Structure 1
C-alpha cells in the first residue's frame, strides 16, 4: 500500500486548482460575510496546513483528507466570524452605538434610539445577579466557555442564563 503524504507542493497545487472552487462554495454559503473575510479565512486555513505539514510530514495522509480538512476548517472559521459579528452588533446596541451603523435622521429618531438603549440597559440591570453578569460578559465578547470558567458554571448553564436573560430583556422592551 502506497501512502502519499501532503507536502507544500501539493498544497500549492490544491491552492491553484481546488481553492477557487471552495472559495465560491463558501461565498455562496456565507453571504452575510464579505468576500475579503471569506478569502482571509481560507488563507488562514492554508497557512495552518502549511505549518502542520512542516511540523509533521504525515499529518495529512492523502490529498483528499487535506481537501476535506481545509473545507471543514474554513467553514468553521466563517461560522466563527458570523458569531463574532453577531456579538459585536448586540454589544453596540447595549453600549449606545447606532445599531448596524445607521444614524438617526432627525431628533425624534435620536430620542427613540436613546430611549431604546435606556430601556435595554434598565432591563439588564433588573436581571438576577448571575444572569446579568452572564449577559454583560457575553455582550462584551466573552465566549460561553470563558464565562463558565469565570463564574464556575457549565457551558450549558451559561447558555441557559444568557438565553433566559436575553428573553427577559426582549420581553421588557416590547
Structure 2
C-alpha cells in the first residue's frame, strides 16, 4: 500500500488531479471519522476533512516523501480539529442563545434489522455517552485516544502526527483512557 500510495503522491505532486482524487478517495472516510470523533459534529467533520484536503493539495510541494502520506494528512486534519476546539472554547458565552439541538446522531439513523427499539435506544445512549466522554477529554488526550483506538495507528505514527515523543503519546493515551473510564463511571 505504501509503495502504491507513494506513486500516487508523486503523480499528484506533478499536477495530476486524478491522482490527488485517488488520495481523497483513500482518506476521505478516515478524515471524516477523525473529525467526527474529535468534534462530535457531522458538519464540522465534513468541513475539517475538506479543509485538510485543500491544505494538502495547496502544500503538496512541501510534503516530505521520507514520511508516510497518511501521517502528513492526519497531522493536518488533527491540527484543524484542535484549532476548531480551541475556537469553540473561546466562543462560549453565558449570554449566547442556543440553537436547536439535533435529537439524534449518526448512530440513530442506521438501519438495525434484528434489534428491538429498546436495544437500539440502549445502544444509541451508550454511543452518546462514549462520544460525550471523548468530547470531554482534554484536546491532547482526545487526539491521542482517537488516533490509537478509532484509527488503529501505531504509537510512532501518532507521535509523528502530533509531533511529540512516543513516551508522551503513551502517557496521553494512558491518561486519556483513565479520564474516559472516570467520565463513563460518572454517567452510570
Q: Please say whether Structure 1 and Structure 2 have the same fold, judged by a TM-score greater than 0.5.
A: no
TM-score, normalised to structure 1, is 0.42
Query: TM-score with structure 2 length normalisation?
Result: 0.40
Query: Greater CA radius of gyration, 1 or 2?
Result: 1
